[in-house]
Amino acid sequence: MTAIVCEGLAKRYDDIVAVDDVSFTVERGEVFVLLGRNGAGKTTTVEIIEGLREPDDGTVEVLGRAPAHADVRAQIGVMPQRGDLYAGIKTEEAVRLFASFYDEPDDPERLLALLDLERVRRSTYRRLSGGEKRRLSLALALVGRPKIAFLDEPTAEMDVEGRATTWELVREMRGSGVAVVLTTHELDEVERLADRVGILREGKLVAHGPPSELASDRLPEITVSLASAIDTDTLAFFLGTTIETLHDNTYRLTGATPDPSLVSRLTTWLAARGVLVRTLRVGGRSLEEVYMELTR
Amino acid sequence: MIRRIAAQARLELALTLRRGESLLVTIGIPVGILVFFTLVDVLPHPGRAVDFLTPGVLALSVVSSAMTSLSISTGFERHAGVLRRLGTTPLGRTGLLAAKLAALAVVIAAQVAVVVGAALLLGWGPRGAAWIEAAVVLTLGTAAFAGLGFLLAGRLRAETNLAVSNALFLIFLLTGGIVVPLSRLPDGAAAIARLLPAEPLATALREAFASQGAGAGTFVTLAVWAIVTCGLAVRTFRWD
């Protein structure tokens, strides 16, 4: 089922065109990433869909209804870019308050534990660090078990563990059929999470589709996804390349031309260890190239 | 929906209790004025000090919580994006407003209990006891000042609003017939003060606790203020 349908969205602030003729759809169980520089129109687009702003032009349907409809509000979770909480509210109090707004909320304790907020459960919002504020904000977006989650630059200000947890939660939501709309200006996040990506530039959607389709192959390299983990140091030494771990059992080989001989040596090494190859792509780290070109 | 509003109202109350400056303005200043000027009888007023002061301090309590405290906290919440964010939850904007008004009603009831309690200890002996009339007056006054509070909070910058709300509090305190009888003000100032919402509120309460009932004029003035401020607030309020 289609979660979000946007048609020709436009929004101007005085003389500035923030969003210009933007159309896309987001399906249930899909992670849709809006990518763009600061000021490209990501937040405005998301806020229109959330019902916080009226578009000057165009239409939005969220779960088949107008964005601000009460039935819609019961089924979405919003993590805004800014903090947006009472300075004096306590962490646990905030999660429990938001839980009380929904009919079948998630367990506040589960989220506090998952997002490493137990230590600061009695701290007021003004005393939380930047990363803690973001994690709390994510907990508040998820506590209502939303059918659509809007995460506006969720991992900005988060530390490594916070990012990993956030990505894990996003994958978990996708797995349970939640539509996730995520904005970022980091390509890394797109590569890790996006089923489809929309690239915004000066309010216009300049490209949109699965990251692999947007990719061209300019800077050749090998990306390999395996059925099990490997010892990257040994393999890197054997091949004479640099190996970067992208996420679980997925690696990127850089620093050597990916000619047939390199591919052959890689697969031979893997075969000797009985490691199953899920995907093997020889091509560009091209999304970045595409992105740099489109947003220049 | 009732459950959500109740949860939000409980939170609003908890946050109010946690804000020292808000307790000072809603409880500390009114009770302080009542106790101080009853014991130190320097104000020019007819009759006993406590009889004159108590209705005025009840009016001041409404001004402090319905306007000053509500306006300042709402202004900062708007500035911080709290109102926007709650607007995306099932509570929604209507629920948030209802919760704020429910919390306000509880605060004013507590203020009335504390002020009346202190006044009775100080020897307050109202001749009339038109409690229903007083409740109606307090409700109308609350609507007028809450409307004013939302009007300020919905448009001014949070810091500007802080200054304006406090300045208005002082103006209403001095010209509302709350501590200084209106007869002591210059004629022009008294005429203007009668058109503002504080003086009719204090006078109507004073009349409710005196043997005579409240005059229709004060009711009408208060009702007009309530309609105008609430109407303007609804039309002009910005959520972010």
Which residues lie below 8 Å from residue A186, measured CB to CB, with a gap of 6+?
Answer: A155
Specify if A293 maps to a domain. Answer: no
Contact yes or no for B78/B155 (Cβ under 8 A)? no
CA distance linking residue A182 with residue A179, whole number of Å = 10
Same domain, A98 and A239: no
Same domain, A7 and A85: yes
Distance from CA of A130 to the nearest CA of B (A): 15
Which of A70, A85, A88 is nearest residue B90 as measured by Cβ atoms? A70
Same domain, A230 and A204: no
User: Which of A13, A65, A71, A84 is the best mutation test for B, with the most CBs of B within 10 A?
Assistant: A84
Same domain, A209 and A227: no
Measured in whole angstroms, the distance separating CA B212 from the mean position of its chain's CA atoms is 24
pLDDT band at A286 (very low <50, low <70, confident <90, very high): low
Same domain, A243 and A157: no
Residue A60, CA distances (Å) to A35, A44, A64, A267, B184 in order = 20, 13, 9, 48, 62
What does the pLDDT read at residue B25?
85
Specify if A178 maps to a domain. Answer: yes
Same domain, A54 and A187: yes
Domain carrying residue A144: 2-214
Domains contained in chain B, number: 1
Which residues from A are below 8 Å from B76, CB to CB? 87
Domain boundary among A214, A246, A261: A214
Q: What is the CATH number of the domain that holds A16?
A: 3.40.50.300
Mean pLDDT of B143-165: 94
* Side-by-side strand order, sheet with A76-79: A76-79, A148-152, A179-184, A31-35, A196-201, A204-209
Which residues from A are below 8 Å from B81, CB to CB? 80, 82-84
Specify if A199 maps to a domain. Answer: yes
Same domain, A19 and A160: yes
Domain carrying residue B50: 2-236
**A76 and B CB contact within 8 Å:** yes
**A269 and B CB contact within 8 Å:** no
Q: What is the CATH number of the domain that holds A224?
A: 3.30.70.1560
pLDDT in tens, B54-110: 999 999 999 999 999 999 999 999 999 999 999 899 998 889 999 999 999 999 999
pLDDT in tens, A109-133: 999 999 999 999 999 999 999 999 9
pTM listed for this prediction: 0.81
Domain boundary among A155, A187, A214: A214
Distance from CA of B40 to the nearest CA of A (A): 38
Same domain, A195 and A75: yes
Specify if A265 maps to a domain. Answer: yes
Which residues from A are below 8 Å from B89, CB to CB? 73, 78, 98, 101, 144
Please report, as a single letter, which amino acid is at residue A274. Answer: G
Domain boundary among A160, A194, A214: A214
Same domain, A167 and A243: no
Specify if A183 maps to a domain. Answer: yes
Same domain, A201 and A225: no
**A74 and B CB contact within 8 Å:** yes
Same domain, A142 and A267: no
Domains contained in chain A, number: 2
CA distance linking residue B175 with residue B181, whole number of Å = 8
